[in-house]
Structure 1
Amino acid sequence: MALAYRVVPVTPFQQNCSVIWCDQTLKAAVVDPGGDLDRVMAVLEKEGLTLEKILLTHGHVDHVAGTDELKRKSGVPVIGPHQADLFWIQMLPDICKQYGFPPALSFAPDQWLNDGDSVALGNETLEVIHTPGHTPGHVIFFHPGQSLAWVGDVLFQGSIGRTDFPQGDYDTLISSIRERLWPLGEGVTFVPGHGPNSTFGQERRSNPFVADQAFQ
Structure 2
Amino acid sequence: MNLRVRYMDVRVKFKDDNESWVYDSNDPHSRKNALGYESLPGNTLEVRLNPATGQVLNVRGGETIYRILGRDDLAGEANSIFLDRFNQELYIYADGPLDIGQQWTRTFNVAAPYGLQYVHTFTLEKHKKKQGFLKRESQISTGMMPGNLYADNRKFSLTGTQTAELNVDLESGIIYGLVAHTELKGQQKMPAGPGRENPVKTPIQVKIDLISEMSMK
Q: Which has the higher strand share?
A: 2
Rg comparison, structure with higher value: 2
Q: Same fold (TM over 0.5)?
A: no
Q: TM-score, normalised by structure 2?
A: 0.26
Q: Which has the higher helix share?
A: 1
